[in-house]
Amino acid sequence: MSLEPGTYFFSGNEAVAEAALLAGCRFFAGYPITPTSELAERMARRLPQVGGVFIQMEDEIGSIMAIIGASWGGLKAMTATSGPGFSLMQESIGFAAMTETPIVVCNVQRAGPSTGMPTYVGQGDVMQAKWGSHGPYEIIALSPSSVQECFDMTIRAFNLSEKYRVPVILLMDERLSHLYEKVRVPSKNELIIINRKKPREKKGFLPYKADDDLVPPMPPVGEGYHFHVTGLTHDERGYPHMDPEVQESLIRRLNDKIRKHVDDIVEIDTFMMDDADIAIVAFGSVVRPSIRAIKLSRERNIRAGLIALKTIWPFPDKFFEDISSRINTFIVAEINYGQVVREVKRAIGDKAKVLLLPKMGGALHTPEELLDILMREAK
C-alpha cells in the first residue's frame, strides 16, 4: 500500500522513497552509501509491501544498469547514491540517455572530491550531473530545498523521465537527506502521474521514430515488436548505423527533446524579487539560509531578493536573460568552487555583475555571511 493522504514527519531520504512509491516506482537497485542509505533501507522495507522488488547490487554500476533493465521491462525504477557512486554511474547515465530509458537517479551530494566528508553537505556534483558522461546529451536535474520539495520533486522526476524518456537526476544534498520536516501527502485526485507513451500500432512500427514532441513511443517487451536497443548510434529502426548523418539527426533530437521543452521542465521559486535590485541565486539547502539573509537585508533597507533554482538542468537561461535588466548584482551562493555561477554568467552575459560566494563543503552558508555580501554589494 502506498501512503495515505495526510501529514507526515519525514527525513528527506524517507520522503523521496515514499514519493517514489506513490509515483509508481516498483523497483529499486542500490548500493549502500552515506548519506543516502536510509533511502535504500526504506525501499527494502516498503517495496515488497506494494508488490515491488528491492535489490542490493554489488556496486553502483550494477545498480543503475539494473534499473535501466527494469525500466525496459516496464517498471518505473530508481536508484540512489552519493558522489563516489554517482561518479561510477556516469557511463550508464549516457547509455540511458542514448537509449531513451526513463530512470530516476537520486544523488545526495556530499563534500568531495573523492571520499571527502561522507556525512557532510556538498553541492559539487552540479556539472557532473550534466556533463558526467561522454558525448553531447541532455538530462534533467531537479534540486529540492525542503523535505516537502524532496517529496514533490521525486514525483515530478518520475513524470518527467516517463514523459521525455530521459534520465532524471534528483540532485539532493546531505542536509536535506537527513533533515526531518512536515510533509503533506496529496490525495489521489490531486496527484498527477505520467506514464510513458506506448506505440499506437505494431505494423510498420519504428522504435526510434519520434512523434512531434521529439519523443518516440516506448515499446513493451514480449509483445512481438522485436525491437533492438543499443548504445551505438542507431537509426529509426534501432539498428546500429555508423554514419555522421544518422549521428547528426539522432543526437540533435536527443538534445532538442529537452531543449525545446525548457518551458515545461523548468521551475524556479523567487522570494521578494518584485522590487529587488540585488539577488541571491541559490539551490538545495543553501536556499534556507538565503531566505533568512533576504529577510535580514530587508530590515536594513536593502532591496534584495532570492532566486531559488528548482530545476538546474536544463538551465533556466531565459529566466536570467529576462530578469538581468532590472538586477544590478547576482550573488551565486553554492557549496563548491563555482559551478552554477558559470551558467548564470553565461545566461546574463555582461548585463549585470555576477559574484560567486563559494563554500568548499561541510557547512551551509550562514545567513550572516550572505547578509555581509549583500550589504557590501548593495552600497
Partner 1 sequence: MPMQFVKYHVRDKYLKTDRLPHIWCPGCGIGSILNAFLLGLEKANIDPDKLLVVSGIGCTGRVAGYLNMDTFHTTHGRAIPFAIGLKIARPDMHVVVFSGDGDLVTIGGNHFIHAARRNNDLLVILVNNLNYGMTGGQVGATTPHNAITTTTPYGNIEDDFNIPFLAAAAGAVYVARWTSLHVRRLAWSIAEAFHRKGFRLIEVISQCPTTFGRRNKMPNGLDMLKWFRDNTIVKHNADLRETRIELNRKIVIGKFIDIKDKPTFEEQAYGLVEKVRGVKRGE
Pairing of strands 103-111, 117-121: antiparallel
**Residues numbered 225-284 forming contacts with partner 1, rule: CB under 8 A:** 225-232, 239-240
* C-alpha span between 246 and 249 (Å, rounded): 5
Binding-site member from 2, 3, 8, 55 for partner 1 (CB under 8 A) = 55
User: Shortest distance, CB of residue 24 to partner 1, whole angstroms?
Assistant: 13
**Number of residues located near partner 1, criterion CB under 8 A:** 45
Q: Residue 337, interface with partner 1 (CB under 8 A)?
A: no
Nearest to residue 318, comparing CAs of 343, 282, 293, 298? 343
The CB-of-239 to partner 1 minimum distance in angstroms stands at 6
**Which of the stretches 62-70, 174-182, 251-259, 303-311 binds partner 1 when contact is defined by CB under 8 A?**
62-70
Q: Which is nearer to partner 1, 229 or 296 (CB)?
A: 229
Residue with smaller CB distance to partner 1, 92 or 177: 92
Minimum CB distance to partner 1 smaller for 95 or for 283: 95
Give the nearer residue to partner 1 in terms of CB position, either 240 or 362.
240
Single residue of 19, 21, 68, 347 touching partner 1 by CB under 8 A: 68
Taking the CB of residue 366, how many other CB atoms lie within 10 A of it?
A: 13
Whole-angstrom Cα distance, residue 187 to residue 219?
31
Which residue, 148, 207, 145, is CA-closest to 171?
Answer: 145
- The vertex-163 CA angle with 244 and 246, nearest 5°, equals 10
* Choices 69-77, 142-150, 173-181, 185-193 (CB under 8 A): range interacting with partner 1: 69-77
Stretch that binds partner 1, among 67-75, 139-147, 183-191, 303-311 (CB under 8 A): 67-75
Report, in Å, the least distance between residue 39 CB and partner 1. 18
Instruction: Compute how many other C-beta atoms are within 10 angstroms of the C-beta atom of residue 321.
Output: 13
Please state, in angstroms and rounded to a whole number, the distance separating the CA atoms of residues 137 and 159: 20
Q: Check binding of 206 to partner 1 (CB under 8 A).
A: no
C-alpha span between 127 and 303 (Å, rounded): 31
Q: Among residues 29 and 306, whose Cβ is nearest to partner 1?
A: 29
CB of 215 to partner 1, least distance (A): 20
Task: With CA atoms as reference, report the closest residue to 66 among 84, 48, 74, 78.
Answer: 78
Q: How far is the CB of 332 from partner 1 (least distance, A)?
A: 35
Min. distance of Cβ 105 from partner 1 in angstroms? 14
Alpha carbon 86 to its chain's center: 13
Task: Please report whether residue 48 would count as binding partner 1 according to CB under 8 A.
Answer: yes
Per-residue contact string for residues 294-333; x = within reach of partner 1 by CB under 8 A: ----------------------------------------
Tell me which of 8, 41, 61, 131 binds partner 1, using CB under 8 A: 61
**C-alpha cell belonging to residue 167:** 534520465
What cell numbers appear for 270 in the block?
Answer: 523567487
β 140-142/311-313 pair status = antiparallel
Q: Looking at beta carbons only, is 182 or 228 nearer to partner 1?
A: 228
Nearer to partner 1 by C-beta: 10 or 54? 54
> Which residue's CB is nearer to partner 1, number 49 or number 195?
49
Residue 121 contacts residue 335 (beta carbons within 8 Å): yes
DSSP letter assigned to residue 279:
E
DSSP codes joined into one string, 46-92? HGGGGT-EEEE-SSHHHHHHHHHHHHHTT-EEEEEE-HHHHHHTHHH
62 binds partner 1 (CB under 8 A): yes
Nearest to 276 by CA among 316, 326, 344, 351: 326
Is residue 27 at the binding interface for partner 1, with CB under 8 A as the rule?
A: yes
Q: Interface with partner 1 by CB under 8 A: which residues?
A: 27, 29, 48-49, 51-55, 57-59, 61-63, 65-75, 77, 91-92, 95, 219, 221-232, 239-240
